[in-house]
């Protein structure tokens, strides 16, 4: 019995000692992990911990941290709506699987700290996460208290694992895509000038791109030390195929602009690159013909004022001659030849021994005649030199007054109908021409075909406006009154899980901040000329200058003159006839 008691006491002592050692080891492990978490927080701040798995060392650590903790036992089968400043702690490499795509995107860039068993190889774990396009990975083994080594995945190097000591100064996580070391970025351009223009370099014979969209992509590739893998659309495909390829992960970036009207999926679009409007490109109204100039210079209000002035001067002349109202009659006032001749700038008989009052009235009449004749002569000469244009259309309901129909592609028409665009629905269908072949439609617009009016975005119109500066007379103008949308965001199509999306969005905003985008846009037309994509000539086809007026230019004034002469002859004949009839009657 004595030996049995001694044996039991010894076993109890050993069990207590082993338990004490286990507790001490656990405390030591917790302290090291806490130090690791503090180091990670100093490198990049986080305010939330997401812990995957059950019963691992991370669960004992989280009790001693001062940040919010989210526990996930199995897989992420829920929508992630927590802070983006999250550090992910995983109890194994196969724990954080599943979950919706939006959750995967939100947590794609977040840093992950994975606890490994002794038999796992860090390089294999890095390959597993690389296949899931998750690159901010750090690994620790269960014997972390002894080794104090952290294994970090490095995607663009071989071997793909770096060993970092906890007490060292080397960072655990780095921005992997700051230097892609020649990795290819798969792109598909839309080849729509001036956005994207492809040419063969004369020096090295390589295909290169230029344009205010192409420059953005090429500069980004140079910044991150990547190469561009160029692929082209088939001629039969629409440019919307690029957006479809981005959604199906068939490319990394599409070198085109995708309007906010065409898509509502922000997962496959970059940060907005341009803010533009979408309006009609309308032909400049024609000049009024010369034969209508005489009617244009006569304003009804001014004509009424002149008639009132004529009546007042007639009354004053008649009254001031005899200082009596006896001769004031409707016929004498309306047919006062002195007042009429004076206002027309013609000579009239001046009475002898006129009073001062009558002389003053004649002075007023002469001054009025000088003002009227000078004003209308100035208007007439100005309008004959440069006739005014016909009125502009101000609303979609009046678009039927335009001389030509508005041509639109079937793709654009379907988008405007699907978005229930009220401005588009206001256009009478008989004044629309829907075109199926969008490439031919672009060719018509680029050559300033005067058979139609066109739709255009403001960023594309800037190059048209620059080109029309070479024309003697501009052919089209950008109508701000006929806009289908005044705020359209244009974005770059990106594939859904693009891991360097944040770097590209930052690069895009910096290009805008430095003014490079506006500079590229302002030089778009000259780039097209240099690549021989558009001619450097006047496409306005100016009319031949006529050194003199033609008979048709004064047709209306001749007709009015003929009517006035006929009326005068008729009145004169009637007066003679009336006088003879009175004599015959007497």
The pLDDT profile of the chain, 586 residues, written as one tens digit per residue, is 565 555 555 555 454 444 443 444 445 556 778 888 888 888 888 888 888 877 777 877 877 788 888 888 766 666 777 777 888 888 877 655 555 566 777 788 889 988 887 777 888 888 888 888 888 899 988 877 777 788 899 888 888 888 888 877 888 888 889 999 889 999 999 888 899 999 888 888 888 899 999 999 999 999 999 999 999 888 778 888 898 898 888 999 999 998 876 666 678 888 899 999 989 999 888 887 777 777 777 778 888 888 888 888 888 887 777 777 776 777 777 777 788 788 877 777 777 777 778 788 888 888 888 888 888 888 888 877 778 888 888 888 778 778 888 888 888 888 888 888 888 888 888 888 888 888 888 889 998 988 899 999 998 999 999 999 988 888 999 988 888 888 888 999 999 888 899 999 999 999 999 999 999 999 999 999 999 898 888 888 766 656 666 777 777 778 888 888 898 888 888 888 887 887 777 6
Dist CA 543 CA 320 (whole Å): 56
Domain-embedded: residue 346: yes
Q: How many domains does the chain have?
A: 3
Of 193, 255, 191, nearest in space to 524 by CA? 193
Which pLDDT value is given to residue 17?
41
| Judgement on whether residues 47 and 156 belong to the same structural domain of the protein | yes
Residue 482 structural domain: 396-530
Of 387, 372, 378, nearest in space to 553 by CA? 387
Whether the CA torsion 497, 498, 500, 503 is positive or negative: it is: negative
Domain-embedded: residue 463: yes
Domain-embedded: residue 213: no
Of 343, 267, 315, nearest in space to 498 by CA? 267
| Of 513, 530, 547, the domain-final residue | 530
Which pLDDT value is given to residue 25?
46
Residues whose CB falls within 8 Å of the CB of residue 476, separated by 6 or more in sequence, listed in order: 281, 282, 283, 284, 448, 453, 454, 464, 468
Residue 120 has a CB neighbour count (10 Å cut-off) of 17
| Of 142, 174, 206, the domain-final residue | 174
| Judgement on whether residues 109 and 132 belong to the same structural domain of the protein | yes
Strands 184-189 and 68-72, by their bridges, are unpaired
Is the link from the previous residue into 192 a cis peptide, with omega within 30 of 0? no
Which pLDDT value is given to residue 57?
77
State the burial class of residue 325 (Cβ atoms within 10 Å of its Cβ: 0-12, 13-18, 19+). exposed
Domain-embedded: residue 282: no
| Judgement on whether residues 490 and 359 belong to the same structural domain of the protein | no
| Judgement on whether residues 444 and 330 belong to the same structural domain of the protein | no
| Judgement on whether residues 35 and 155 belong to the same structural domain of the protein | yes
CATH of the domain at 144: 3.40.50
| Judgement on whether residues 131 and 66 belong to the same structural domain of the protein | yes
Note whether 296 and 388 are within 8 A (CB): yes
| Judgement on whether residues 374 and 402 belong to the same structural domain of the protein | no
Domain-embedded: residue 496: yes
Dump the DSSP string for 29-57.
Answer: HHHHHHHHHHHHHHHS--SEEEEESSSSH
Which pLDDT value is given to residue 58?
80
Count Cα atoms within 13 angstroms, Cβ side, for 576: 5
Domain-embedded: residue 148: yes
| Of 319, 353, 385, the domain-final residue | 385
Domain-embedded: residue 314: yes
| Judgement on whether residues 33 and 151 belong to the same structural domain of the protein | yes
Dist CA 523 CA 498 (whole Å): 31
What are 536's two structure tokens? 């450097």
| Three-state SS at 457 | strand
| Judgement on whether residues 309 and 414 belong to the same structural domain of the protein | no
Domain-embedded: residue 483: yes
| Judgement on whether residues 372 and 417 belong to the same structural domain of the protein | no
State the burial class of residue 379 (Cβ atoms within 10 Å of its Cβ: 0-12, 13-18, 19+). middle
| Judgement on whether residues 337 and 427 belong to the same structural domain of the protein | no
* HEC per residue, 67-94: CEEEEECCCCCCCCCCCCCEEEEECCCC
What are 315's two structure tokens? 């009354």
| Judgement on whether residues 346 and 425 belong to the same structural domain of the protein | no
């Amino acid at each position: 019995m004595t030996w049995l008691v001694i044996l039991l006491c010894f076993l109890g002592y050993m069990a207590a000692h082993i338990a004490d050692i286990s507790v001490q080891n656990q405390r030591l492990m917790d302290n090291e992990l806490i130090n690791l978490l503090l180091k990670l927080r100093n490198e990049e701040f986080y305010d939330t911990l997401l812990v995957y798995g059950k019963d691992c060392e991370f669960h004992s650590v989280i009790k001693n941290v001062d940040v919010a903790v989210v526990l996930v036992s199995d897989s992420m089968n829920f929508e992630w709506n927590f802070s983006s400043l999250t550090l992910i702690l995983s109890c194994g490499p196969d724990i954080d699987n599943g979950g919706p795509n939006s959750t995967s995107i939100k947590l794609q860039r977040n840093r992950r700290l994975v606890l490994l068993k002794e038999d796992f190889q860090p390089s294999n774990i890095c390959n597993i996460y690389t296949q899931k396009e998750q690159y901010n990975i750090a690994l620790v083994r269960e014997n972390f208290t002894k080794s104090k080594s952290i294994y970090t995945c490095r995607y663009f190097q071989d071997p793909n694992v770096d060993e970092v000591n906890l007490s060292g100064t080397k960072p655990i996580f780095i921005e992997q895509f700051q230097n892609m070391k020649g990795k290819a970025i798969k792109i598909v351009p839309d080849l729509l000038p001036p956005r994207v223009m492809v040419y063969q370099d004369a020096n090295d014979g390589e295909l290169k791109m230029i344009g205010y969209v192409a420059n953005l992509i090429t500069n980004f590739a140079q910044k991150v030390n990547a190469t561009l893998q160029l692929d082209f659309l088939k001629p039969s495909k629409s440019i919307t195929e690029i957006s479809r390829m981005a959604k199906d992960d068939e490319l990394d970036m599409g070198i085109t602009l995708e309007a906010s009207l065409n898509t509502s999926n922000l997962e496959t679009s970059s940060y907005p690159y341009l803010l533009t409007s979408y309006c009609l490109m309308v032909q400049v109204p024609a000049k009024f013909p010369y034969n209508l100039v005489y009617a244009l210079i006569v304003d009804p209000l001014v004509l009424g004022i002149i008639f009132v002035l004529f009546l007042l001067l007639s009354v004053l002349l008649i009254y001031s001659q005899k200082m009596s109202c006896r001769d004031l009659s409707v016929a004498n006032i309306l047919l006062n030849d002195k007042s009429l001749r004076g206002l027309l700038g013609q000579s009239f008989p001046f009475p002898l021994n006129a009073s001062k009052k009558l002389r003053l009235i004649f002075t007023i009449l002469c001054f009025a005649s000088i003002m009227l004749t000078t004003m209308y002569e100035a208007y007439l000469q100005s309008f004959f030199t440069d006739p005014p244009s016909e009125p502009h259309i101000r609303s979609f309901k009046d678009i039927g007054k335009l001389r030509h129909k508005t041509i639109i592609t079937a793709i654009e028409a379907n988008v405007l109908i699907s978005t229930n665009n009220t401005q588009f629905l206001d256009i009478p269908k008989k004044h629309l021409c829907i075109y199926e072949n969008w490439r031919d439609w672009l060719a018509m617009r680029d050559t300033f075909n005067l058979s139609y009016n066109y739709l255009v975005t403001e960023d594309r119109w800037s190059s048209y406006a620059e080109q029309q500066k070479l024309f003697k007379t501009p052919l089209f103008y950008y109508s701000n009154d006929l806009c289908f949308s005044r705020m359209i965001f244009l974005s770059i199509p990106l594939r859904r899980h693009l891991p360097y999306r944040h770097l590209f969005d930052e690069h895009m905003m910096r290009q805008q901040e430095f003014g490079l985008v506006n500079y590229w846009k302002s030089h778009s037309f000259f780039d097209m000329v240099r690549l021989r994509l558009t001619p450097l000539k006047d496409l306005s086809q100016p009319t031949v200058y006529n050194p003199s007026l033609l008979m048709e230019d004064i047709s209306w004034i001749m007709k009015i003159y003929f009517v006035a002469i006929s009326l005068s002859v008729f009145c004169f004949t009637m007066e003679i006839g009336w006088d003879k009839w009175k004599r015959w009657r007497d």
